[in-house]
Copies of this chain bind each other. A is one copy, B any other.
Amino acid sequence: MPSETARIEAFSDGVFAIAVTLLILEVKVPAADSGQLGRHLLQQWPSYVAFVLSFAFIGIMWINHHRLFNHIRRSDDGLLILNLLVLLGVTAVPFPTAVLATHLQTTDARTAAIVYNGMYVAVAIFFNLLWRYSLSHHLLGHEVDKASADKISKQYAGGPFLYLACIAIAWFSVTASLVLNLCLAIFFALPPAVAERVTRGRPARA
């Protein structure tokens, strides 16, 4: 018999897969023109950056979702609803990303960076809610060892505050806030055991 959570995972995978695939629709083809295609293609580099960044971020969310559901084995109505909240965040990604791409080189860059980092605050909160609910309602598999679950809890706990810091930093420097945002993405892509070593300042061994 499949795990109780199989259909939640299948549905979520569908949402992740679609969200990640729709991103290319935002990259526009330059109109037919006289011998200037190369230049036009290069000029729209912010579109490519936004495409690759959003792809990476949704991909990393998927890896995290995958990791959580390697531990979660039972399901109830609360889990269904909290999982929908996480997916709401996933499907919304293209919007703030497009806001950032459109306004990064304008006088609205600061507002755009705040909106962009604000979405990550929300997603980080939703992931924490999903994980803490699973813990407190005993939805993990019996074979899951407690140390592994604790490492996830620690890695996630700081998320919302770190992204709030990104918002604060954006007030002073948009570039600095986006660099920190990128570092956080890499941090959440790391396996929890490696992430723990990083935060303790020990050398990571993948």
Identify the A interface with B (CB < 8 A). 2, 7, 9-25, 27, 29-38, 41, 51-52, 55-56, 59, 62-63, 66, 77-78, 80-81, 84, 87-88, 91-92, 94-95, 98-99, 102-103, 106-108, 111-112, 115, 189, 191, 206
A23:B108 contact, CB within 8 angstroms: no
Known pairs A80-B63, A99-B41, A107-B34; A11 contacts B13 (CB<8 A): yes
Q: Which of the residues B13, B14, B23 comes within 8 Å of A91, measured between beta carbons?
A: B23
B77:A63 contact, CB within 8 angstroms: yes
Task: Give the nearest-CB partner of A94 in chain B.
Answer: B24
Task: Give the nearest-CB partner of A6 in chain B.
Answer: B2
Contacts A15-B20, A15-B21, A21-B22 supplied; 14 other A-B pairs, CB < 8 Å: A2-B2, A7-B13, A10-B13, A11-B13, A13-B17, A14-B17, A21-B91, A31-B102, A32-B106, A34-B108, A37-B103, A37-B106, A41-B115, A59-B81
Q: Which of the residues B18, B77, B108, B191 comes within 8 Å of A18, measured between beta carbons?
A: B18
16 interchain pairs (CB within 8 A)? A7-B13, A11-B13, A11-B62, A13-B14, A17-B17, A18-B21, A19-B24, A20-B91, A22-B22, A22-B25, A24-B91, A33-B106, A37-B111, A37-B112, A41-B99, A59-B88
